[in-house]
Amino acid sequence: MISFKKALLTTATSLFFMGWAEAQIGYFEDALRFSQFRSTGSARIMGLGGAQTSLGGDVSNIHTNPAGLGFFRRSEFSFTPSYGTWTTETNYLDQLQQTKTNNFSVPNLSLVISRPKGPLSTSAFKGGTFGISFNRNNLFNTEFGYFSDIPSQSSIQDLFVQRANGTPPNQLTGLTSLAYETFLINPIANNQYSPFVGIENAPFADEQVVSDGRISQTSFSYGANFINKLFIGASLGLTSLVYNSSKDYGEEFLDEPLSTTTIIENLSQEGYGASINLGIIYKPIEQLNLGVNFQSPTWYTIDEQYEARMSNLFDNFFFEPENVFLRRQEAATDIILSRWNLTTPMRFSAGATYFFGKNGFITADIDFLDYSNNSIRSRDFSPAEDNREIRALFGQTFNYRVGGEYRFDIWRIRGGYALYGDPFANPAGFDRSMQQITGGFGMRLDKFYVDFAFINSSFDQLYSSYTLIENGVNIGPVISIKNRINTGMLTFGINF
């Protein structure tokens, strides 16, 4: 019988891709991860809370509102390194666990080539500026975990039984096939299954999740100046993404024939995409800038690789139905390759900046996005259920940013605040919005400048190792996660 099960695994894992797509249904989570917008740019802009839609003359305009490039009168090169600490605190059954991850990156590298018209030009066109930048839009380097010395409400065995019921053993796929192969679930009659017969008590659960990766964008932009009042710009963004995740889930049983269950999943995703960006800034009076910006969807093509392993440690248990002693039972999937396409939501932004002469300014932005407009396509699997989840779970949201700068002599002092709305349509009392409190200072000389910014970001998440619905309620483990990110940035720039 054991040899039959080993032979069955070959069949099961060859069909595993279909089973994973049908059973896991997690691409809607990837869609949200890769589409969530956070303002990024130079240390100057981040010190202002990321507000920049109507503020021209900064290298960040290359990838945000390219109309701002029309304000440049000189060419410029800038380099921005950053260092941050990402702290996660999980709460599962009132057990807290904290993890810190340190990140160093170069979030912005920019070059601006300005070609203004001379002061004697009578043309309405006053010149234009070309910009190219490399920008780090998002960083995924983080880690969290949870544990509890209180038994869980359920076991992942219950999930596998729920998935397997009604399916013949030789048609089981995905993790469910691994559970069958390693005796975690077993057939009873009429294609029905039961969890391992020796289990009577709920397990102690724990999990560790480690992820890394980034979304980067190379932008090619042009901004034009008309009569020093109307500024129009456009850009092309070429985006790349990398995301890796490793999950190590475990259950421990006391005084039972089954001691532990361990499931390890590894996911790697790489993709590329493109988008366009159009913007306008208008100065109705000298002291006021009004800006609008349209960011098209990003059209991604994503390749992914997935594999999983399962190990169950038994206490030399005699399994009578198959006349075998169970010790360590292990099984693994093949490496599963797939390709899918993601279209992210478009974004509309508007902003205003008011200048107090040469003493400084205040600036504010608002964005509108509809995360339910995420869309997944694939020839390798059916994305229908994920697209239904996207439309059901996600909704419209607004983002707000405000900042100010005070100037004296060559020095600049800045502060700002940003609120990024909850992307979920019905948050059910749990707020997933992100807040940022920022500050910074800078020094401006004729041909050189340096800016520093500090950004404190905070947001909460819910994470579920698996979803097990009973009487319309998820009784699987649900973990709340507090995220706190502190980042310092330096921008060095030269004018020429």
Q: Is the pLDDT of residue 56 over 50?
A: yes
Q: Is the pLDDT of residue 19 over 60?
A: no
Higher-confidence residue: 448 or 24? 448
Q: Is the pLDDT of residue 1 over 50?
A: no
Residue by residue, DSSP assigns 324-356 as EEEEEEEEEPPPEEEEEEEEPPPEEEEEEEEE-
Q: Look at residue 199 in the predicted model and tell me its pLDDT.
A: 62
pLDDT band at 200 (very low <50, low <70, confident <90, very high): low
pLDDT band at 197 (very low <50, low <70, confident <90, very high): low
Computed over every residue of the chain, the mean pLDDT equals 91
% of the chain residues with pLDDT over 70? 94
Q: Is the pLDDT of residue 4 over 50?
A: no
pLDDT band at 401 (very low <50, low <70, confident <90, very high): very high
State the Cα–Cα distance between residues 426 and 211, nearest whole angstrom: 27
Which tokens in the block code for residue 237? Answer: 């963004």
pLDDT tens for each residue of 341-380: 999 999 999 999 999 999 999 999 999 999 999 999 999 9
pLDDT tens for each residue of 135-171: 999 999 999 999 988 998 889 999 999 999 999 998 9
- The closest alpha carbon to 234, from 280, 272, 274, belongs to 280
∠ CA 369-50-242, rounded to 5°: 65
Whole domain around residue 260: which residue ranges? 2-495
- Give the CA count within 13 Å in the CB-facing half-sphere of 101: 18
At 109, give phi and psi (nearest 5°).
Answer: -140, 120
Residue by residue, DSSP assigns 39-106 as ----HHHHHTTT--TT--SSGGGGTS-GGGGGG-SS-EEEEEEEEEEEEEEEEETTEEEEEEEEEEEE
pLDDT band at 429 (very low <50, low <70, confident <90, very high): confident
Question: Are residues 321 and 364 in contact, defined by beta-carbon separation less than 8 angstroms?
Answer: no
Q: Is the pLDDT of residue 107 over 80?
A: yes
CATH number of the domain to which 428 belongs? 2.40.160.60
Counting the structural domains of the chain, the total is: 1
Q: Is the pLDDT of residue 31 over 90?
A: yes
Rounded mean pLDDT of 261-280?
A: 98
pLDDT band at 21 (very low <50, low <70, confident <90, very high): very low
Helix (H, G, I), strand (E, B) or coil at 386: helix
Q: Is the pLDDT of residue 23 over 60?
A: no
Q: Look at residue 7 in the predicted model and tell me its pLDDT.
A: 31
Rounded mean pLDDT of 48-72?
A: 96
State the Cα–Cα distance between residues 180 and 173, nearest whole angstrom: 10
State the Cα–Cα distance between residues 318 and 195, nearest whole angstrom: 16
State the Cα–Cα distance between residues 236 and 220, nearest whole angstrom: 5
Q: Is the pLDDT of residue 12 over 60?
A: no
